[in-house]
Amino acid sequence: MAKKTFVSYNYADAEVARTVRSQFNNAGGPVQGKPVSLEENMTSGGDKAIDAAIKQKMSECDSALFVVGDNSHNSRWIEREAQLAVSKGIPVTVAQLPGTTGGIPDGLKNVPHQKVELKSGQVAKAINHKSAKK
């Protein structure tokens, strides 16, 4: 079974964050496995709908990649995704969007995580290494 990585990002950063998909090997890139993310905007369904969708998507995953930028550190849904990743015990990688200074979600500050630049080689090394440990 192919490994899956939950990719977390703020919708305001969606265009840049989606370039991460090209780094996964199903798009010919060096990162093993398949990216999984919450693509549809669930806000019209309310908090419970968003939470259920995040849980369902993350339950398929072996690791999590948080793409952080200036809009990420105060996003309550990224915070919820961080809490779920920690509660599932899945390995976490944090990649900073180029040209941004926003911090990592509070839910990840006190848990083991690896921070890398948003470059395919660095993301691949972090994700592939975590997948090999599982």
Given the structure tokens 């793409």, which residue do they identify?
A: 67
Distance from C-alpha of 104 to C-alpha of 47, rounded to nearest angstrom: 22
Going through 11-101 in order, the beta strands assigned E by DSSP cover 34-36, 63-68, 92-96
40's tokens: 């549809």
Output the pLDDT for position 128: 87
Output the pLDDT for position 107: 80
Going through the chain in order, the beta strands assigned E by DSSP cover 4-8, 34-36, 63-68, 92-96, 114-117
Output the pLDDT for position 20: 85
Output the pLDDT for position 132: 57
Output the pLDDT for position 101: 86
Distance from C-alpha of 30 to C-alpha of 32, rounded to nearest angstrom: 6
Output the pLDDT for position 92: 92
Residue from 108, 50, 103, 62 nearest 82 by CA: 108
Low-confidence ranges of the chain (pLDDT < 70): 1-2, 26-28, 41-43, 130-134
Hey, where are the domains in the chain? Answer: 4-133
Contact (Cβ atoms closer than 8 angstroms) between residue 63 and residue 92:
yes
Output the pLDDT for position 1: 41
Output the pLDDT for position 19: 81
Output the pLDDT for position 6: 94
What is the maximum alpha-carbon separation in the chain?
A: 38
Output the pLDDT for position 65: 93
CATH architecture for segment(s) 4-133: 3-Layer(aba) Sandwich (3.40)
